[in-house]
Amino acid sequence: MNTQKKIGFGVLGCSYIAKKAAIPALIDSPLAELVMIGSRSNDAARACAEQFGCDSFGTYEEVLANENVDAVYISLPNTLHEEWVIRAAEAHKHVWCEKPAALTYASARRMIAACRKNNVRLMEGFMFLSHPQHAKVRALIDEGVLGDLLKFEGRFSFPMPEAGNIRLNAELGGGSYNDAATYPIRASRMIFDAEPESILCTLTMDPETGVDVAARAIVHYSGSRSAHISSAFGVDYKSTYSVLGSEGHLRMERAYAVPKDIPVKIFLESGDTKKEIVVEPADHFKRMVDGFCQEILLGNSSTKNYEEDLLSQARTLEAGRISHEKKRLVRLVELE
């Protein structure tokens, strides 16, 4: 493995998000080094490597065989995540995998088992968690500004993807639930700082593509707390959440996909006080990469349990899918 104080990264998949945000974040990070780019298409790998000034490119297998690659970023269709996470782990590479990392709870357990067996880290790529606006929200909650937390409402929706887009491909794990609802579900776990007890979920299926184009869920937490989740394709763009407490209320201006050059606002109401809190621009992809590299370099002293977080997220999503299929509330203990 690389002994320098930089983590050498290989990239599996030349996706839109890889080229728009992930690879630039790797290049900008002082703790990471872009070593190699891999694609199933040699031409695509070459073009992507040339775009970012990377000297090395090849197949996925060649990336995993590269001794200068310490970690990989996996930006492949959802149905390929498990295979390549496990293969990367067996090649002794740390893994940053796009969300949802796993399409089933069992898949998540297999991936984590492989990573633990080979002593490598596995992080699911929820970049929004690294944006400082959420740390500010947590600070407000911890200060008691909102009182006792009661309700979370989160929505992530956007216009219909173009025909042929991976989001509309059922065989590759597309759909609004996998692609968008995952964000507010994960955000609710962050806000309540707890794991759900149950979920009631309904998906609106598109008969032509076989994917869900809308998802609605009520996620129940202990103490009568609840999260109301919605996602959709083919509607207006909305990327936000709000939190209601016994003493106040806040909502985000833009919560999940935030361009690195724009400030955002938190709107807070507490008692007679109304505030607009401006959070300065931040590159949450780069901040996530920096954090992942730091944890890798810490080795056994690492403080973040990425693997358990991924497992908890996969368990919640799986319960939601079962809820839709069986048309009933599903308790998460049923999955154990």
Do 143 and 201 fall into the same domain? Answer: yes
pLDDT tens-digit readout, 124-164? 999 999 999 999 999 999 999 999 999 999 999 999 999 99
Among residues 109, 127, 145, the one where a domain terminates is: 127
Average pLDDT of the residues of the chain: 96
Residue pair 34/6 in contact by the 8 Å Cβ criterion: no
Single-letter residue type at 226? S
Say which residues have a Cβ less than 8 Å from residue 291's Cβ, sequence separation at least 6: 130, 304
Work out the pLDDT band at 273, boundaries 50, 70, 90: confident
Nearest-angstrom CA–CA distance, 27 and 284: 14
Domain membership flag for residue 167: yes
Q: What is the pTM of this model?
A: 0.96
Among residues 110, 127, 144, the one where a domain terminates is: 127
Domain membership flag for residue 292: no
Nearest to 307 by CA among 49, 24, 115: 115
Among residues 108, 127, 146, the one where a domain terminates is: 127
Do 274 and 143 fall into the same domain? Answer: yes
pLDDT at 272: 87
Q: Could you tell me how far CA 313 lies from the centroid of its own chain?
A: 10
Q: Per the residue annotation, which of 19, 93, 99, 286 is the catalytic one?
A: 99
Domain membership flag for residue 308: no
Domain membership flag for residue 202: yes
pLDDT at 84: 98
Domain membership flag for residue 274: yes
Domain membership flag for residue 101: yes
Do 178 and 109 fall into the same domain? Answer: no
Do 91 and 219 fall into the same domain? Answer: no
How many domains, in total, are found in the chain? Answer: 2
pLDDT tens-digit readout, 292-304? 999 999 999 999 9
Over range 94-106, report the average pLDDT.
98
- Percent of the residues in the chain that have a pLDDT greater than 70, as a whole number: 99
Residue pair 124/310 in contact by the 8 Å Cβ criterion: yes
In angstroms, what is the C-alpha Rg of the chain?
Answer: 20
pLDDT at 119 exceeding the cut of 90: yes
Which structural domain range is residue 157 located in?
132-281+316-335
Do 122 and 176 fall into the same domain? Answer: no
Do 74 and 199 fall into the same domain? Answer: no
Nearest-angstrom CA–CA distance, 308 and 199: 19
Residue pair 155/228 in contact by the 8 Å Cβ criterion: no
The domain spanning residue 171 has which CATH number? 3.30.360.10
Nearest-angstrom CA–CA distance, 300 and 314: 25
The domain spanning residue 15 has which CATH number? 3.40.50.720
Nearest-angstrom CA–CA distance, 323 and 175: 16
pLDDT at 4 exceeding the cut of 80: no
**Active-site residue flag, 136:** no
pLDDT at 1 exceeding the cut of 60: no
Do 151 and 113 fall into the same domain? Answer: no
